[in-house]
Amino acid sequence: MRHPLIEAYSAPVPRYTSYPTAPHFNESVTPAVFSGWLAALPPDRPVSLYLHIPYCDRMCWFCGCHTKQVRQYAPIAAYLESLLAEIALVSSRIGHRLTASAIHLGGGSPTMLAPADLGRLMDALGAHFTITPDTEISIEIDPNDIDQPKLDAIAASGFNRASLGVQDFNSTVQAAINRIQTFGQTRAVVDGLRDRGIDAINIDFLYGLPYQIVESVTDTARQVVELAPRRIALFGYAHVPWMKKHQRLINEAALPDAGERFEQAQAAAAVLIGNGFEPIGMDHFALPADPLAIAARTGTLHRNFQGYTTDDAQTLIGLGASSISQLPQGYAQNTVATGNHMHAIEAGGFSIARGVALTAADRLHAYAIERIMCDFALSRADLSARFGADASAIFKRADRYLASHTDGLFVRDGDTYRVTPRGRPLVRHIAAIFDAYLETGTARHSIAV
């Protein structure tokens, strides 16, 4: 079935986990600049911490993360020592003890860490930051590299949320993306987490993968629901082989087109909603009592590099190779190459390779994009109260779009601009209205649906 509207508006645009987006970072943000930003952090504001573990025991061909395959533990052990040194370095530059509102271990595959090393890492964080009973401590888990001792270590280290990647349970799709993972294997990990008191479980799966059809995606959705997570992320596969060379191993002829992707997303969402999950933003779902669903209902939802979040910390400190920090002054990204990053840390400095210092205009546009992505709405009164006369730049962009587009994706309702239900699957396209960099850049992105 053709979907002319989806086809017309599915041109590649960013996912807007930051603004400006990463392709617009530059070399003006140096290790010295970043060090100064850290030193300026106030002692009474909590921070969020992201730790990147860039290793996997195999390369999944669909993956868009900065990671590498390793067959021995020695590189991971060496990287851990560098990460411990980086934590101490960041803490020393801040100069005072800060509270961590959230800690997230991502990858790659953090569960490649040996149990004792996971404990050492969390002990180091506790030695330099205040971790409270309210701190959300989460970890991404690959069911293929987890065992009982690692599950014990996760529980003993204080983790209270876990995220499992599923992608798809169909064996044909799994073979096409080099990610073999059975439902039984995944359920065993979920059960193991719950047995240890970790019931806040997220599950991610994908649509738009090679050989996926509506029936296989909905089958996976039903199996994901059977696992009874509290949150579900339903992401569209981002095929970017110009950035991720291993994606060239995927048979492009087997990829669904924009219309098929839309049908898959809609069918899977219907399964989730029909089983009591509330839609959050463009690709998340949560049970009504989950804090993410509450935040969406109350207008307090946020978006950062991990996607939709309840974390309202103004500062996110990224640790490890390729990690991006978001501070009040701007963004700073560590060197992507793991070896170069480690050498910089071992030499006693940061490995910041690029970033961007935020201007007043950046903050305005970032706020507008975040509210569109989170609330599907923008209040003129709210923007004017926050940004004064500068808010007119957003109004002009919105009004100009409305004057030239009559497809009913985006409307003005009195004081408020709204993304309509019809436009919600294309919210990235609507957010791009407010991206002042998009028309001047040369970056390539994944399609908008």
Task: State how far the Cα of 14 lies from the Cα of 23, in Å rounded to an integer.
Answer: 10
For the segment 18-46, what is each residue's pLDDT rounded down to a tens digit? 999 999 999 999 999 999 999 999 999 99
Q: Residue 202: in which H helix or E strand, if any?
A: strand 201-207
372 and 279 within one domain: no
Q: What is the mean pLDDT of the chain?
A: 94
Highest mean pLDDT pick, 3-7, 238-242, 260-264, 276-280: 276-280
182 and 74 within one domain: yes
39 and 10 within one domain: no
Better-scored residue on pLDDT, 218 or 8 = 218
Better-scored residue on pLDDT, 449 or 53 = 53
CATH code assigned at 229: 3.80.30.20
Structure tokens that stand for 161 in this block? 């949320």
What pLDDT shows up at residue 382? Answer: 98
106 and 136 within one domain: yes
**For residue 8, pLDDT beyond 80:** no
128 and 25 within one domain: yes
- pLDDT category at 67 given cuts 50, 70, 90 is confident
For the segment 241-256, what is each residue's pLDDT rounded down to a tens digit? 887 888 888 999 999 9
What pLDDT shows up at residue 447? Answer: 57
**For residue 17, pLDDT beyond 80:** yes
What pLDDT shows up at residue 442? Answer: 54
What pLDDT shows up at residue 2? Answer: 66
139 and 32 within one domain: yes
- pLDDT category at 74 given cuts 50, 70, 90 is very high
What pLDDT shows up at residue 62? Answer: 76
> 210 exposed, middle or buried (CB, 10 Å; 0-12, 13-18, 19+)?
buried
- The backbone torsions φ and ψ at residue 254, rounded to the nearest 5 degrees and listed phi first, read -90, 0
How large is the greatest C-alpha to C-alpha distance in the chain, in angstroms?
A: 61
Asked, for residue 333, whether it belongs to a domain, the answer is no
38 and 10 within one domain: no
**For residue 184, pLDDT beyond 70:** yes
Better-scored residue on pLDDT, 245 or 449 = 245
Asked, for residue 347, whether it belongs to a domain, the answer is no
How many domains does the chain contain in total?
Answer: 2
384 and 306 within one domain: no
281 and 424 within one domain: no
Asked, for residue 328, whether it belongs to a domain, the answer is no
Find the radius of gyration of the CA atoms of the chain: 21
399 and 283 within one domain: no
What pLDDT shows up at residue 5? Answer: 77
DSSP letter string, 30-88: -HHHHHHHHHT--TTS-EEEEEEE-EESS--TT--SS-EE-SSSHHHHHHHHHHHHHHH
Asked, for residue 354, whether it belongs to a domain, the answer is no
What pLDDT shows up at residue 152? Answer: 98
CATH code assigned at 401: 1.10.10.920
Asked, for residue 351, whether it belongs to a domain, the answer is no
- pLDDT category at 441 given cuts 50, 70, 90 is low
Mean pLDDT of 180-191: 96
| The one-letter amino acid at 158 | G
- Per the structure, the complete domain to which residue 368 belongs is given by 1-16+359-444
Mean pLDDT of 389-413: 96
Q: Which of 288, 319, 350 is the last residue of a domain?
A: 319
Q: Which of 297, 319, 341 is the last residue of a domain?
A: 319
Q: Which of 262, 294, 319 is the last residue of a domain?
A: 319
Q: Which residues does residue 161 pair with via DSSP β-bridges, in sequence order? A: 138
Mean pLDDT of 270-292: 97
pTM (2 decimals)? Answer: 0.93
Asked, for residue 349, whether it belongs to a domain, the answer is no
For the segment 420-435, what is each residue's pLDDT rounded down to a tens digit? 999 999 999 999 999 9
151 and 56 within one domain: yes
For the segment 321-377, what is each residue's pLDDT rounded down to a tens digit? 999 999 999 999 999 999 999 999 999 999 999 999 999 999 999 999 999 999 999
CB proximity list for 236: less than 8 A, separation 6 or greater: 206, 207, 208, 261, 265, 283, 446, 447, 449
Asked, for residue 383, whether it belongs to a domain, the answer is yes
Mean pLDDT of 162-182: 94
Nearest to 280 by CA among 230, 315, 223: 230
Asked, for residue 325, whether it belongs to a domain, the answer is no
Whether 273 and 221 have beta carbons less than 8 Å apart is answered as no
364 and 287 within one domain: no
